[in-house]
Amino acid sequence: MTVRFFHLVTHLGDAALLIPLSLTVTGILIWSGHRPAALRFATAVAFLMAATVVLKIGFYAIGGDAALGVLSPSGHAGFSVTVYGCCAAIVAKQCRTANAAIVIAAAAALVATVLVSRVVIGAHSVAEVALGSALGLIGISVFMVGNADLDSLRLRLSAPLAAVLAVVSLSIWAGGHQFNAERQIEQAGILVGSTLGTLLPSDLKPGRTETVRRLGERN
């Protein structure tokens, strides 16, 4: 029952949900007249996605680091920390102090559950989740630091718009939460590794399970 719960919760960090959610939040910020905040939020998400892909390719290109226990930094972790963290900051700005604390705490609990789920279901090691989370915190910093517009943030979020956000996000999640580009990223990393000569011939077969096994045997 517990594992099944974490298998469900882990999809709350999937790109199939968080990409449309990020686009919606960006649109709401623009609609509310907060273009600088919208730009920073979009930049934070874009940074997180780009940095995650680059790091994943880099680790795959060298066959991972057995000492650190890292083969592929967790994208779910980084994406969850950045998107839910930034959204919590945005919503908290609309609340009184006590309610703002509740919003931040709820977002932190949600993110923590997603992070734990990645380890529980065997998708990532603790180190991979930690590395992904670190990228996510940098993403939040990109959004928060020097963003004076946050102090005057007031959203124009009508009830119909909120309903559309919920329905669209949940429907995309329910219908497409299996979206996963990990295999393609791994293949790109292996191509880079084979080109640079940083992988042994025995490492040049795609497939996370096989790569992890070979990494453990080699070290």
pLDDT of residue 212: 45
What is the domain range of residue 177? 2-218
pLDDT of residue 127: 94
Tokens of 217: 């045997």
Q: What is the pLDDT of residues 175-192, one digit of tens each?
A: 555 566 778 888 888 888
For residue 206, the tally of other CB atoms under 10 A from its CB is 14
CA dist 44 and 40 (Å) reads 6
Residues of the chain with pLDDT under 70: 1, 157-180, 200-219
3-state secondary structure the chain: CHHHHHHHHHHHHCHHHHHHHHHHHHHHHHHCCCHHHHHHHHHHHHHHHHHHHHHHHHHHHCCCECCCCECCCCHHHHHHHHHHHHHHHHHHCCCCHHHHHHHHHHHHHHHHHHHHHHHHCCCCCHHHHHHHHHHHHHHHHHHHCCCHHHHHCCCCCCHHHHHHHHHHHHHHHHHHCCCCCHHHHHHHHHHHHHHHCCCCHHHCCCCHHHHHHHHHHHC
Q: In sequence order, which residues have a C-beta less than 8 Å from that of residue 13 and are 6 or more positions away?
A: 75, 76, 77, 79, 80, 114, 117, 118
Q: What is the pLDDT of residues 27-70, one digit of tens each?
A: 888 888 888 899 999 999 999 999 999 999 999 888 888 888 88
pLDDT of residue 200: 64
Q: What is the dihedral of CA 104, 19, 94, 40, to 10 degrees?
A: 100
pLDDT of residue 123: 87
pLDDT of residue 43: 95
Count of domains in the chain?
1
pLDDT of residue 29: 87
pLDDT of residue 166: 66
Tokens of 185: 């990223």
Q: Which of 203, 180, 179 is nearest to 191 (CA)?
A: 203
pLDDT of residue 217: 42
**Residues 60, 190 contacting (CB under 8 angstroms):** yes
CA dist 17 and 65 (Å) reads 30
pLDDT of residue 111: 96
pLDDT of residue 140: 95
**Residues 120, 7 contacting (CB under 8 angstroms):** no
